[in-house]
Amino acid sequence: MGERLYDRLGQANQRFGFGWGDAEVQTIVKRAIRLSNRDVENFAYESSAEFLYNTWNLMPETNHDLTNANAYTVSGFRISLQKMEGFMNFLKPELVFQQYQDEPDPDTYKAFVTRTQKNLEVARLYLGSKLLSIAVIEALSQRIGQDIPLATMMGELPGRGLSVAQLENFLPTIPVAFPLETALEQEVLKLLEEGRKEDSTYDVKNSPVATYIIKSIGFQEARRLLIKAKEFFKKNLLPEEFLGSCDRKVVDTITNGVLQVFESRKAAMGRLNVGTRV
């Protein structure tokens, strides 16, 4: 980027007679490189939780429905996750940050690339785990109908001082059934269980369904099932075919949790004053 910008500025300098010397053109290019790197500095954050928090805040830019909390659909949320997961898998760390001459210096640039590589690896495994969990929810939602709101399946987001039933309240707390094989897996499970830096306006920071799935089947099996989940997204697998490839106990537990959310709504409706007229 830096060399191309230098060449183009040189051509513009000659064409329009700006009168810049070579040193001035190089200074302009370095300023542009600093600005470009500052714009993507979150990729090189020391904390993956902070990096993911910033990434999550970008998702409504590709799906405006997410700005309407508790109304966006299961498939809409899944599509947003898919886009972000695809982007993270496509992105190469050495292309995120730019370097021209000594801007930034070699050690700083190497540190940027190293931290970016680590954050991308975390994001890929994290988003893949989230995609698998939403695949299970989406397959279950299609037993009801198409374009079901995510809040219908999982409960409304907490807020407004209301006590609402949420799917996570009906999932058991379990130990890790399969040993975590790498530091990356340990970090991602911690992020799923404890959460990103902060809640987003359209999503809570932790991922209870993904946590339950990963603790139950492990990351290796989750990677295998993610391939099937993507076939389900492409409609190459029916919902029940995808669910049939998943661990039966996991699917039954999540299904029962969704039913408990429905039952809590039914109970709330039963407490209404039957004499009320509208």
Lowest mean pLDDT: which of 124-138, 190-204, 205-219? 190-204
Are the C-beta atoms of residues 57 and 200 closer than 8 Å to each other? yes
pLDDT at 69 over 80: no
Length of the chain: 278
| pLDDT recorded at residue 203 | 63
Q: Which pLDDT does position 159 carry in this prediction?
A: 60
Instruction: Evaluate whether residue 156 is within a structural domain.
Output: no
pLDDT value of residue 274: 52
Residue 275: pLDDT above 60? no
Contacts of 273 (CB under 8 A, 6+ apart): none
In a domain, 251, yes or no: yes
* Any domain includes 155: no
Checking if the pLDDT of 142 tops 60, the result is yes
Whether 127 has a pLDDT exceeding 60, the answer reads: yes
Between 12 and 196, name the one with better pLDDT: 12
Res. 277: pLDDT tops 70: no
DSSP, collapsed to helix, strand or coil, labels residue 19 as coil
Whole-angstrom distance, CA of residue 206 vs CA of residue 195: 4
pLDDT band at 200; cut points 50, 70, 90: low
Q: What tens digit of pLDDT does each residue of 150-164 get? A: 989 998 876 655 567
**Residue 157 placed within a domain:** no
| Straight-line distance from the first to the last Cα atom of the chain, in angstroms, rounded to the nearest whole number | 65
CA angle 40, 41, 42 (to 5 degrees): 90
What's the pLDDT at 59?
76
Give the model confidence (pLDDT) of 167-186 as tens digits.
Answer: 999 999 999 999 999 999 99
Tell me the pLDDT tens digit for each residue of 218-274: 999 999 999 999 999 999 999 999 999 999 999 999 999 999 999 988 887 776 655
Rg (CA), the chain: 24
Q: Rounded to an integer, what distance in angstroms lies between the CA atom of residue 58 and that of residue 75?
A: 18
Q: Which residue segment(s) compose the domain that 181 sits in? A: 2-10+23-147+164-270
Mean residue pLDDT across the chain? 89
Q: Which of left, alpha, beta for 195 (phi over 0: left; psi -120 to 50: alpha)?
A: left
Identity of the amino acid at 122: V
State mean pLDDT over 182-197. 90
**277 located within any domain:** no
Domain tally for the chain?
A: 1
For the residues 104-123, what does the mean pLDDT come to? 95
Q: ω into residue 104 within 30 of 0, thus cis?
A: yes
CA distances from residue 204 to 52, 101, 153, 167, 197 in whole angstroms, order as listed: 13, 43, 15, 13, 10
The helix-helix angle for 2-16 and 22-39 (nearest 10°) equals 130
Asked, for residue 58, whether it belongs to a domain, the answer is yes
Q: How far apart are CA 254 and CA 168, in angstroms?
A: 9
CA distance 49 to 47: 5
Mark out the alpha helices in the chain (DSSP H runs). Answer: 2-16, 22-39, 48-58, 74-90, 93-96, 106-141, 150-154, 183-194, 208-233, 239-245, 248-270
Q: Which two tokens stand for residue 57?
A: 């805040």
| Residue whose entry in the numeric block shows the structure tokens 């603790």 | 215
Beta bridge partners of 162: 159
Could you tell me the pLDDT band of residue 49, with boundaries at 50, 70 and 90?
confident
**105 found inside a domain:** yes
Q: Is the predicted pLDDT of residue 114 greater than 70, yes or no?
A: yes
Q: What percent of the chain has pLDDT over 90?
A: 69
In a domain, 80, yes or no: yes
